[in-house]
Amino acid sequence: MRALIVVTLLALPAFSAAQTPAASDAPTVQAADAPSASADTPPAVPAGDSANDAAGGAVAAPAPPPPPPPPAEAFTIVLVLPLESAAYGRAAEAVRAGFLAAADADAGKTRTRVISHADGNPLTGFAEARKLGARVVVGPLVRDDLRALLAADTELPTTLALNQPDDGAALPARVYALTLAIEAEGRQLARLVRAQGAQTVGVVSADAVLQKRFASAFVGEWILQGGGPPETFRFDRAPELLTQLRKDLGRTPIDAVLLAVDGADVALLKPFVGTVPSYTSSQVNDRMQLESQRDLDDLQFVELPWLADPTQAGLGGLPRGTYTNASLQRLYALGIDAFRIARALVDGPPATMEIDGATGHLTLESSRSFAREGQLMRLRGGQVEAAPPR
């Protein structure tokens, strides 16, 4: 017995060290409170002769058998992506590359697996993940796939979705959401513009669904921050309508204007806005020609730290990938943060979580969605640079 105790004590430090993640890139996590033991719970009776004495000398009942070990093929985190999709395969590949880069940087402490599926078929991937004993599943990536998964009403393991329901529905139990949704940029810009002292704002919006979502998120947050209803204008490429827009903006007293149009249309629209402080989405940073950028001086937008400041602490040691497309770089960054958050979720639902990640400063909200704040940037002389504080 004495030899067994000595061996056990010697083994404890090695076990503890193996379970401690690296502090440099770990999210700040506060575990949810565990239920406390009842005051009426009797103290545990040590095994051995004392147990027999308590039973009047009777032989104690045999202890229940230990639970069976997990299957040999059990994986801690499983990533489910539409890698076989003609429409979303490239995006999925970028997410996978970022996820595996972060997993490699974790020095193999977490056993991971990637499961591929075709268009509109995430359920088979999730079923396979359950068979593999996954403690956390990352996915779906596509909004329609998330809708199909939630509509199936099947019991899910802890899941980190990489998109959000399009109807604002609450997430089911054990489902979290980390997204690159454009709404996050709109809300952050509204807070920034309000904090900079703007009292009245204008919104020029195109008819595309994505731009309407961007504009709506901005307006909602602007009003939530105490701003009044903004002046709204419709964007149209027709020269005569752009000329009319310039006149309308000129006779409307506004302190700032949001350009909710596609990145390619920003260069067309900006000269008609004049000198009013202008803001737009990160789409302006996608494949923009240098000649066009020179017409966009002082236009501001929110960008991911992975693109805005790749030397940021915790990011410099990760491979950059080979993507020349900013959209794919953002998806690569999403994969990095998806792994880091999934790793933190392995130990159970956290009460709070914050992480300075590749996609921004991430904060877990009560809805189990991660709020994301990026870095404010501006265009100046055809180059992208950090916007100075005001």
pLDDT per position as a tens digit, 7-35:
333 333 433 333 333 434 557 766 555 44
Token pair recorded at residue 95: 């997410």
Query: CA-CA distance, 345 to 342, in Å (whole number)?
Result: 5
With a CB cutoff of 8 Å and minimum separation 6, the contacts of 227 are 190, 194, 198, 199, 200, 201
Tokens of 378: 């501006």
pLDDT in tens, 113-138: 999 999 988 999 999 999 999 999 99
Superfamily of domain 183-303: Response regulator (3.40.50.2300)
C-alpha 257: how far from chain center: 28
In the CATH hierarchy, which fold is given to the domain comprising 77-180+308-373? Rossmann fold (3.40.50)
Contact (Cβ atoms closer than 8 angstroms) between residue 341 and residue 331: no
**d(C-alpha 220, C-alpha 227), whole Å:** 10
Helix, coil or strand: residue 138: strand
Which part of the chain is CATH 3.40.50.2300?
Answer: 77-180+308-373, 183-303
**Whose structure tokens read 């789409």?**
283
> Does residue 348 come out as left (phi exceeding 0), alpha (psi in the -120 to 50 range) or beta?
left
Give the model confidence (pLDDT) of 318-335 as tens digits.
888 888 889 999 999 999
> CA angle at residue 377 from 375 to 381, to 5 degrees?
160
Query: pLDDT tens across 81-123, in order?
Result: 999 999 999 999 999 999 999 999 988 788 999 999 999 889 9
How would you list the strands of the sheet with 112-116, edge to edge?
112-116, 77-81, 136-138, 158-161, 175-177
